[in-house]
Every structure is written in C-alpha cells, then in structure tokens.
Copies of this chain bind each other. A is one copy, B any other.
C-alpha cells in the first residue's frame, strides 16, 4: 500500500475511536492481534494496509446507512408531522446477532451498528430537525410486550415496542 493511500498511526487510532470500537475488536476484524493494533497506533509498527482498508470500508458503510436512513426518515415525515422517532439499538452482541442478523455481514459488531445509529440521530436533528431517540432493545421487556399484545417478532414490531419506550 503506498504511503499516500494508507493511514498513519494517529489516523488509524482516531478512525478506530470514531467507530467506537476497541483495539481488540480491530484485531478481530483484521485477523491481527491486539498487540499489533496497539503497535500500529503508537507508530511502533507501520499500519497494516488491509486493516486500514477494512476500517475505512466499515466507515463508508456506516455513512451510506446514515444517508439512506435519513432519506427514509425524511420521506416518512413528508407525510406525518410527528417529529419524534425511536431507533432500536443493541447493547450487546448476542441481541444484535439474534435480532438484526441482516446487518452482521456488513457491520459485524453491535458497536458499529450503534455508532451508525448515533450518527443518524445527529444528522436527523441537524438536517431534518427530527428528534431520534436510540432505544436499547430490552429482550425481556420486548418479549413480554409481544406476548401481551399477541404479536410476532419483526422489525416493525420492534420499532413499535421502541416507540412505547419514549
């Protein structure tokens, strides 16, 4: 990887921080060790080009998702005047993988999905003046809600449950 297209130590560190993940998670994503990641970030070892590329790709996927979701929300609010919205996020990997498996391929960690959600919240407020609340899925409370209302599990029902949490 040429010097100009790669990332240097401090760039790699702040890219990782902006994604909300740990050195151990970068190691997992790039099939390296945590010690390697620390060495890249302190400049002891040159940053592995493939690892930088992986994180940049993820950042791009998140930015695309922010754009697409905000477009969707804008379309929604062209019909409804409601200016408050809830967005389900996942406080651990198990619930993320169970309830949101379609994202695990592109955003493998719940932290990456939540980072996208945070950016969506910011962008919606700034650009659309829509207040988005991130609602961490409470698996037990969600199950109880579905049982009480006799509802099957789906993205829509999750969103409905989240709206009851505002």
Checking B15, B84, B89 against A4 with a beta-carbon cut-off of 8 angstroms, the contacting residue is B84
**Contact B17–A134 (Cβ < 8 Å):** no
Number of A residues whose C-beta is below 8 Å from B? 28
Question: Does chain B have a CB within 8 A of A47?
Answer: no
- Interface digits, A125-153 against B, CB 8 Å rule (1 contact, 0 not)? 00000010111100000000000000000
Task: Please name the residue on chain B nearest to A3 by beta carbon.
Answer: B166
Question: Does chain B have a CB within 8 A of A18?
Answer: yes
Contacts of A15 in B (CB 8 A): 118
Interface of A is mostly: helix
Contacts of A17 in B (CB 8 A): 17, 20, 111, 115, 118
**Contact A131–B11 (Cβ < 8 Å):** no
Task: Please name the residue on chain B nearest to A22 by beta carbon.
Answer: B17
A17 to B122, CA, bound (A): 14
> Provided the pairs A18-B115, A20-B17 are in contact, do residues A10 and B131 lie with their beta carbons within 8 angstroms?
no
A122 to B11, CA, bound (A): 11
A8 to B162, CA, bound (A): 13
**Contact B121–A10 (Cβ < 8 Å):** no
Binding site for B on A (CB under 8 A): 4, 8-11, 14-15, 17-18, 20, 43, 59, 84, 89, 91, 111, 114-115, 117-119, 121-122, 131, 133-136
Q: List 8 A-B contacts (CB under 8 A).
A: A8-B133, A8-B134, A14-B115, A14-B118, A17-B20, A17-B115, A17-B118, A43-B136
6 tightest A-B CB contacts, nearest first: A17-B20, A14-B118, A10-B136, A11-B134, A14-B114, A10-B134
